[in-house]
């Protein structure tokens, strides 16, 4: 029988390999951020702070580089929706970010310091609005013990089943990595994109 660590190794590597398929690079003319494919018809979510003043391009997991346009951006919640002209993209299943509890295992995948697809694992420190010393009044966050670095921004934070629970956003102090919860992104997409988001949001499971 496999030792428990070997079983965990298999699960961890399989989850990360699944996440890679819907992880993209976002180039803003200055640096590289990360993004997550939300819908197979080319809808990608990322952080608003990843958007630069200049032209955006997206590099898909299969290596294709495509120009991207901004559909909507919400600076207050640091989320943005991008569109690339392509279909059949691999999407990621959505998790229930409202039910995250401290101690749950999470994995952040992105391009820290330009290392493509690098993964880091840790636990949820806290989730919701009632967290001390978080940026932005009354904002909802997922706080983790992950060390997020330049290049992580906009990339997926997944739970132990590989379901998207948030997008990695910023550090609060030296040891707390913050992600915008998936349900905040769902709300943003519905408000910003209206009927289009309904169609795009069809992958959202009842939460």
Q: Which residues contact 17 (CB under 8 A, 6 or more apart)?
A: none
Residue 138 known to be catalytic: no
Q: Which of the ranges 42-50, 66-74, 110-118, 123-131 carries the binding residues for other proteins, by CB under 8 A?
A: 110-118
Query: Rounded CA gap, 179 and 30, in Å?
Result: 23
Q: Which of the ranges 23-31, 37-45, 109-117, 192-200 carries the binding residues for other proteins, by CB under 8 A?
A: 109-117
Query: Rounded CA gap, 17 and 26, in Å?
Result: 19
Question: Is 171 a binder of other proteins (CB under 8 A)?
Answer: no
Q: Which of 39, 74, 78, 200 is catalytic?
A: 78
Tell which one of 12, 86, 171, 192 touches other proteins (CB under 8 A).
12
**Min separation Cβ 36 and other proteins, Å:** 17
- Residues near other proteins, by CB under 8 A: 3-6, 8-9, 12-17, 107, 113, 115-122, 147
């Amino acid at each position: 029988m496999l030792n428990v660590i070997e079983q965990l190794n298999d699960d961890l590597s399989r989850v990360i390999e699944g996440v890679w398929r819907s992880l993209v690079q976002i180039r803003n003319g200055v640096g590289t951020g990360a993004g997550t494919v939300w819908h197979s018809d080319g809808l990608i979510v990322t952080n608003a702070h990843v958007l630069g003043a200049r032209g955006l391009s997206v590099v898909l997991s299969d290596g294709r580089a495509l120009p991207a346009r901004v559909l909507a951006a919400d600076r207050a919640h640091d989320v943005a929706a991008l569109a690339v002209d392509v279909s059949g993209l691999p999407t990621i299943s959505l998790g229930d970010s409202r039910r995250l509890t401290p101690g749950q295992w999470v994995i952040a995948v992105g391009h820290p310091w330009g290392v493509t697809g690098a993964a880091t694992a840790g636990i949820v420190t806290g989730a919701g609005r009632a967290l001390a010393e978080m940026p932005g009044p009354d904002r909802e966050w997922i706080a983790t013990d992950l060390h997020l670095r330049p290049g992580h921004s906009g990339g997926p934070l997944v739970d132990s089943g590989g379901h998207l629970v948030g997008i990695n956003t910023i550090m609060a102090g030296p040891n707390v990595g913050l992600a915008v919860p998936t349900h905040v992104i769902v709300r943003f997409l519905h408000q910003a994109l209206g009927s289009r988001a309904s169609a795009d949001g069809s992958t959202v499971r009842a939460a």
